[in-house]
Chains A and B, each alone.
Chain A
Amino acid sequence: MPDYPYAGGDLLTRPNSYFYSAFGGAAFVRAWKSHREATAQWFDATGRASESVADTADPALTLFERLAEGDDRSGTIDAIARLVQRFEVTKRVYGAYDDRMRPVDREDYRVLERYVAFGHLLERTHARTGSLPALNALLKVNDILGAHREALAPAWRRPAARLVRAEREHVDALATRVGAAL
């Protein structure tokens, strides 16, 4: 079985471009599933139970949590789309965003907890709307979390495990819907 090559190295410094990715057949998908299951198990095994992991003083976490709650206020969909665009351009999640969802400090992107919270927002968005851009970004977020798992605070590892497993469920559902020969 081939290795899954997209979740290694320092992806915060040198992000994947994902351009012209090679085709590896169903074996590639099996390698991805294997990688993700091992990642989720590691997060579960090393994580620490915590009643609440949210830091209400962190602007990014607050923003992602508010958007993930699914309020239908005007601008929510636009805000999520802009966040996805910012992430896709840089492959980074920042500490704070201005009212146009541009990062306030472009050097503040190494806090992994924000990647979990942003991943949760993407997961909820895909679950609610079926948005493929959201699922696409979630896959890239989980690549980063897998590559940097040691740096994630133990209190955030079990939420990260849930995120990885939710991603797998969404991909499985999509594969079934489109009839992919796995």
Chain B
Amino acid sequence: MLERALLFAARTPRSQAYVQAMATAGLAPGRVLICGEDSEDREAPPAQPSGAVEVALPDLTEPLEATCAAAGWPVEAIAERDVNSPAVLQRLAAWRPSFVIYSGFGAQIVGEAVLAQGIAFLHAHSGWLPAFRGSTTIYYSMLEACRCAASVLVLARGIDEGPVLARRHYALPPAGLDVDRLYDAAIRADLMCRVLGDVHAHDRLPMALEIEAEPAGTYFVIHPVLKHLALLSLPGSAGERGAGS
């Protein structure tokens, strides 16, 4: 099943984390569709972490194409950024992948026309579902639960409301680590690879978890003051500029 999957990879640090983690784990998708302008994934290296990290961090200086080429994966790159565009819809209809490993641009919502194709879109969310739905939940999780989490779900109409296939807690990142571009991407990539490993082993998507009775919460883009409290509360934080992302 994995060999017929499509990796939808917007030019973002998260996609770099996905392709690097998948390549390292030997989890090869059937195709990779890279979306966005070519210059978008050439980020300057961020500050280095000051402590041990339990997940592999992406190398943001390595372009998506380079990782895919080294792994021998077939790639098509298009300038289109919108997952709901005719260019993407046309390719989905033509390729009919077994499922999509989705790593789109932030704030884009996969629309009904795409979901109506009946292809499962697997998305890794950086929060424990359903308790932490919405945006920037990694920071809210730091403040409310004193740990981080990721969940892999199948996208549905409601935001973060599709069936959850897997979820996992992660330790707080060390002070000094770029959370937005490194740690958030890394924990999502780690859990996505665990799910893809399961798909590879059993040749089917995992069953959805039974979690309907758990309380749900919805969060919105975190205000910079609360984001600072989250980062300044990390173990080892000195509270000065350069000590976080």
Contacts and interface: CB of A to CB of B under 8 A. Distances in A.
A56 interface: no
Question: Which of B240, B241, B244: most chain A CB closer than 10 A?
Answer: B241
Contact of A81 (B218, B221, B229): B218
A82 to B, nearest CB: 10
A178 B244 contact: no
Contacts of A24: 228, 241
Interface in B179-235: 180, 217-233
A49 interface: no
B67 interface: no
Contacts of B219: 132-133, 136
A54 interface: no
Nearest to A135: B226
Contacts of B239: 25-26, 180-182
Contacts of A132: 140, 143-144, 219, 226
A88 B233 contact: no
B107 interface: yes
B237 A181 contact: yes
Interface residues of A, number: 34
Given A132-B140, A132-B144, A21 B224 contact: yes
B232 A29 contact: yes
B225 A19 contact: no
B242 interface: yes
B103 interface: no
Contacts of A21: 222, 224, 227
Interface string A95-130: 000000000000000000000000000000000000
A25 B243 contact: yes
Given A23-B241, A25-B239, A181-B233, A88 B220 contact: yes
Contacts of A85: 218, 220
A24 B244 CA distance: 8
Nearest to B224: A21
Contacts of A92: none
Contacts, number: 102
A63 interface: no
B66 to A, nearest CB: 24
Contacts of B221: 17-19, 88
A42 interface: no
Contacts of A175: 229, 232-233
A25 B237 CA distance: 9
Contacts of A23: 227-228, 231, 241, 243-245
A179 B233 contact: yes
Nearest to B217: A133
Contacts of B143: 132, 174, 178
Contacts of B180: 20
Interface of B: 106-107, 140, 142-144, 146, 180, 217-233, 237-245
29 contacts: A18-B221, A18-B222, A19-B106, A19-B221, A21-B224, A21-B227, A23-B231, A23-B243, A23-B245, A26-B232, A28-B241, A29-B229, A81-B218, A88-B221, A132-B219, A133-B218, A133-B219, A135-B226, A136-B222, A136-B223, A171-B225, A174-B143, A175-B229, A175-B232, A178-B146, A178-B229, A179-B233, A180-B229, A180-B237
Interface of A: 6, 17-29, 32, 81, 84-85, 88, 132-133, 135-137, 139-140, 171, 174-175, 178-182
Per CB-CB distance, the 7 closest pairs between chain A and chain B, nearest first, are A181-B239, A25-B241, A26-B239, A88-B220, A21-B224, A178-B233, A180-B232
